[in-house]
Chain A
Amino acid sequence: MPLSDPQTWVEQYGDVLFRYAVARLRNPSLAEDVVQETFLAALQSSQRFQEQSSERTWLVGILKHKLIDALRRASREQATTLLDSLAAEPDEQFDEQGRWKIGDADPHAWDANPRLLLQQQEFLAVLDQCLAGLSPRLAHAFVLRELDDVSTKQICQVLGVTPTNVWIMLHRARAQLRKCLERRWFDQPSSR
């Protein structure tokens, strides 16, 4: 299929690309900039469009590169001392012996079906708030790994950190998100 008129791209693909970017960058204005960069890069390289793939797949491919560039820029701006503090920071979920603190911090029973959860607008709002609660650097590592299935090796290259740092960051992000969702969704009687 040949390329459609670039003037129609914004209406056809703008929302899909924007949603994709917002979910990863957690910042609508930055996401808009990245979508703009994507369209401009696509205009420049329209001769390289392979007709075997769909226009949307091609644009999402360009967007992924632009997102990685944006994440790399953002991670350079943040101090690497965050990683040192993360490694040294005691985990509030455990006592001095490393056992779960019973009460608020220990994992409660969840009655969860991912497909059904995603059909609830309220759950998506809570998920969004919980993701927004992660520090930018943790969120970047986390969304690359969990939303885009990027390998930890590639995340190391994007963020300029070691594999051990990435594993600690992912562990902290998962623990924080789990705790946040439990408090704000799974422990709420109205969510069941």
Chain B
Amino acid sequence: MRRMFVNFWTGVVAGLGKWLGRLMPPCAHIAQALSESLDHPLAPMRWMAVFLHVRMCLLCRRYQRQLRVLRATLRAYAGQLGGTPAVALPTLSSEAKQRLKAAMQRKV
């Protein structure tokens, strides 16, 4: 009876530890999850783990901010490529333009 009692509570503690471990994964897993959160909604348990971890970990918080800066920068860069760029961006050389015009003339 006593052994059953001990086994029961050992199981409970081990299960709790496993559950807490899942709730508090290491930074490497959080970094992957932070990246994925930009691409698809995370499952609730995973989202909760990221939420709690980021609040306690300065480096993961920085990583999250940096991923957002990267996204905003690249999306703005994409806008610049299709519009009037603030700085000089690559252009076609005059030879390349001649090649393109010749190819189009052949097609016409």
Binding site for B on A (CB under 8 A): 6-7, 9-11, 14-16, 18-20, 22-23, 28, 32, 35-36, 39-40, 43-44, 60, 91, 93-94, 97-100, 106-110, 112, 114-115, 117-121, 124, 127, 145-149, 152, 163, 166-168, 170-171, 174-175, 177-178, 181-182
Contact = CB atoms under 8 A, between A and B. Distances in A.
5 tightest A-B contacts by CB? A98-B26, A98-B28, A171-B35, A107-B62, A114-B73
Contact of A23 (B63, B70, B78): B78
A120 B96 CA distance: 27
B53 to A, nearest CB: 11
Interface in B64-96: 65-67, 69-78, 80-82, 85-92, 96
> How would you classify the secondary structure of chain B's contact residues: helix, strand, loop or mixed?
helix
8 contacts: A18-B91, A20-B82, A36-B100, A44-B107, A99-B26, A114-B69, A146-B74, A168-B32
Given A36-B99, A94-B28, 15 more contacts: A14-B100, A19-B85, A19-B90, A40-B104, A91-B28, A94-B27, A107-B66, A110-B62, A118-B76, A118-B87, A124-B77, A146-B70, A148-B78, A171-B35, A178-B63
Contacts of A14: 92, 96-97, 100
Chain B CB within 10 Å — which of A6, A99, A146, A175 has the most?
A146
A127 to B, nearest CB: 7
A145 B77 CA distance: 13
Interface residues of B, number: 50
A19 B70 contact: no
A119 B59 CA distance: 28
Interface of B: 25-29, 31-32, 35-36, 38-40, 59-60, 62-63, 65-67, 69-78, 80-82, 85-92, 96-97, 99-101, 103-105, 107-108
